Amino acid sequence: MKKTYLLIGLMAIAPMAVVISCVTSTKRIDDGRERVNMNTGPDARGEIYSVQVIDGLERVLALDMNDKNKRLELSPKDWSYDPLTTKLTVTKAIPYVNAVYHLEGTALKPARFVLQSLKTGESPIVFIAGRVAIEGVDYAWDGSKSILTMRKDINPDEPGFFVDYLTTYGSSCFGNMGANETADAIQYYLAQRRREDWKKELDQGAEFPFLEMKDGGDPIVVMRKPDAKKKAEMAEQSVPVIKCRDKSDAEIAKEAGFDAWLPAKVPLGGKAFALAGVRMLLETTVDGEPRTSVMCYYQLSDKVQGAEEDSIPITLSRESSATADDNADFEIERVPMEKAPEVTKTTFWTVRQNETGYEPVKSVAYRGIRNGVHFEVTCSTDAQTVERAEKIILAFMRRK
């Protein structure tokens, strides 16, 4: 007898998959061009794009994300830049594990952007001053070339200018959402759009990745349409509203409604450490009831950001997560965590998307309770990653 399982919500939570960092600052100069200062980092493929077209790149610096005091100015012979694609190629070996590149130069008005790896048939969602921008009025979109051109008087450095778009690797975005109130309004809109996209795919009879387990052997991924029952379940899938918060533990706890403390930095041995990133409040609905959780990715200092195994997420909530139970049909093992027996360690099969499609992979979920707050830490079964996940959990559990 065979069993099947769909990673429900795979597309719905795709906006968390990939983020392009693009911070700009512009200043008008006499000939109508703009001075541009921009920070950008490697994408999921390790390639570097400015996204905004710079027609005169003058200066490139490498910054160390693990140490804000470290920076290295590159000679023009150490890099090349293609304004047609906005790709930056760095030929000099950079001594930083997590390098971000600071670019300075000039850009023509109106501002122009080239969106990379856009998903077939997709177009960007653009916001100006926190409102939804109108194609043909606020911007022009050339889908054949993936070029976004803003109206001449629009400054992409202004708070509330934000662009979100789906790529073959997940969701990408750039800009500045602005203050929390504006940023939250944008996120509510994006969640609604992603839900509409999700339901549209279902209604159009799209195929989705299912895990299929047959007697003996490992599971395989099968692309197929869901049956009527599964389709109904998927149509009810709640898309999380993601609210980024760079606040104190107390402020986040007040907004979330429960203790949201997390260790800021966890030593991993040697010079390596795990650094807590910006926390996200995830708002969703389960059986008609509103749910809020707090999610944080711990960036591993000796891993390149955007690469596999670069970070470990932890999620806090009032209610128990159902992730491991949802994978019961594909559970491999469930045991107490050796150094913290009150924590359950579950190893199971799940689906992962890569450049060529979907594949079955083994994953680990740690689940427990601290001071009435449920937590879950997920990671791959890689031995080093598992060891590091457990160090984060132990640091989290030590606070009584």
**Res. 234: pLDDT tops 80:** yes
pLDDT greater at residue 31 or residue 324: 31
| CA–CA–CA angle 36, 146, 175 (5° rounding) | 40
Say if residues 22 and 174 touch (Cβ distance below 8 Å): yes
At 32-62, the pLDDT tens digits run 678 899 999 998 788 999 999 999 999 999 9
Stretch 113-118: mean pLDDT, rounded? Answer: 94
Nearest to 73 by CA among 84, 82, 60: 60
Nearest to 148 by CA among 179, 172, 178: 172
pLDDT in the model for residue 8: 31
Residue 185: CB atoms within 10 A of its CB come to 17
pLDDT in the model for residue 322: 57
At 176-219, the pLDDT tens digits run 998 889 999 999 999 999 999 899 999 999 999 999 987 778 99
pLDDT in the model for residue 10: 33
DSSP 352-383: EEETTEEEEEEEEEEEEEETTEEEEEEEES-H
Q: Six-digit token pair at 239?
A: 């898309």
Stretch 2-28: mean pLDDT, rounded? Answer: 37
pLDDT in the model for residue 11: 32
pLDDT in the model for residue 321: 67
At 288-318, the pLDDT tens digits run 888 999 999 999 999 998 887 899 999 999 9
pLDDT in the model for residue 207: 95
Domains of the chain: 16-178 (no CATH), 240-397 (3.40.1000)
pLDDT in the model for residue 286: 80
Determine the Cα–Cα distance for residues 144 and 50; give it in Å rounded to an integer: 20
Least confident of 150-154, 263-267, 268-272, 357-361: 357-361
**Res. 329: pLDDT tops 80:** no
Stretch 88-99: mean pLDDT, rounded? Answer: 96
Percent of the residues in the chain that have a pLDDT greater than 90, as a whole number = 72
List strand residue ranges (DSSP E) for 11-98, in order: 22-28, 34-40, 48-49, 56-64, 71-74, 79-82, 87-90
**Res. 278: pLDDT tops 50:** yes
Say if residues 347 and 332 touch (Cβ distance below 8 Å): yes
pLDDT in the model for residue 2: 38
**Res. 22: pLDDT tops 50:** no
Residue-averaged pLDDT of the chain? 88
pLDDT in the model for residue 33: 73
pTM of the complete model = 0.86
pLDDT in the model for residue 121: 87
Q: Six-digit token pair at 300?
A: 């591993």
Q: Is the previous residue joined to 240 through a cis bond, with omega within 30 degrees of 0?
A: no
**Res. 371: pLDDT tops 50:** yes
pLDDT in the model for residue 276: 96
Determine the Cα–Cα distance for residues 389 and 383; give it in Å rounded to an integer: 10
Nearest to 53 by CA among 200, 156, 195, 177: 156
**Res. 63: pLDDT tops 50:** yes
CA distances from 167 to 145, 178, 283, 332 (A): 14, 24, 24, 32
Percent of the residues in the chain that have a pLDDT greater than 70, as a whole number = 90
